[in-house]
Amino acid sequence: MILLDEDTKCLVQGITGNQGSFHTLEMLKYNTNIVAGVTPGKGGQSLESVTIFNSIEEAKENTDVNASIIFVPSPFGKDAAFESIKYLDLVIIITEHIPVHDSMEIVEYAKKHNTTVIGPNTPGIISPGVGKLGIMPTHIFKEGNVGVISRSGTLTYEVASQLTMNDIGQSTCVGIGGDPVIGTNYPNILQMFEDDNDTDAIVLIGEIGGNAEEMAAEYIKDNISKPVVSYIAGMTAPPGKRMGHAGAIIQGNSGTAQSKINALSDVGVKTAKMPSEIVKLIKDSL
């Protein structure tokens, strides 16, 4: 597994909000190691067994936290991310609609501090059997040896569900986020899975727009020895129309599903025409 393992000790930023409190309880039910919450002005309160602090600095002084998951509203997303990045190793930004220029600053700040940022606009990550830092429904995941990377939350769930129903478990599933600017990209996660002893094969789920999948194909060619299979959403999308995510828009000839499929095919990555075909491709590759 990658990113989220037995050594991950997490805090929840925005733990007292509706989303933060709901998902904290769901993460705790899945045995995720949540050691603190942070909401300015609410320090000293608690949610079940989780103590709430006024700041990350205060939480860090009182616990051995090393990761955070952010549920704060988008206008405060950058400040929350900066605070986490300064003190922690892993930051998951669930928040949607963070302005692109804020995301650019978050990514730059994370590079300076050598902090891994997943998102913004991500469903999070799950390592079945260990825990989840995110909003995904846990019953569709199963412990195993297939790593999943995706730009789409819904498609992550669909593919994981298909794998689980066919008795193929997952090591870790990572939603990298659907925005044009994100902290951690396909090559970063591909390399983590390549180096991970618990992962034997990788599923890459992409969608139209941008060139992330083409860059992933380039990276796979020279750096990844484990089998990779893929699914690209948006085969029928008309040019110039955004489909779902802010990053999913085709401009000119770049960013089409076919250009991504071709790039992946050129480096030996087979692409499923529909999510259910992933199962056969994975079975054939293992």
Residues noted as catalytic:
245
* Per-residue burial over 64-78, b = 16 or more CB atoms within 10 Å of its CB, e = otherwise: ebbbbbbbbeeeebb
The side-by-side arrangement of strands in the sheet containing 46-47 is: 46-47, 50-53, 34-38, 10-13, 67-70, 90-93, 116-118
Spatial distance between the Cα atoms of 145 and 200, rounded to a whole number of angstroms: 6
- Find the length of the chain: 286
What are the Cα distances from residue 23, in Å, to 9, 27, 66, 208, 223?
16, 6, 19, 29, 36
CB 94 within 8 A of CB 22: no
CB 124 within 8 A of CB 151: no
Angle at 112 (CA atoms; ends 106, 113), nearest 5 degrees: 90
Residue 210: both structure tokens together: 């941008």
Query: Taking each helix axis from N to C terminus, what angle separates 186-195 and 212-223, rounded to the nearest 10 degrees?
Result: 30
**In 10 A of CB 262, how many CB atoms?**
13
Write the CB contacts of 14 (distance below 8 Å, at least 6 apart in sequence).
20, 38, 39, 70, 71, 72, 73, 80
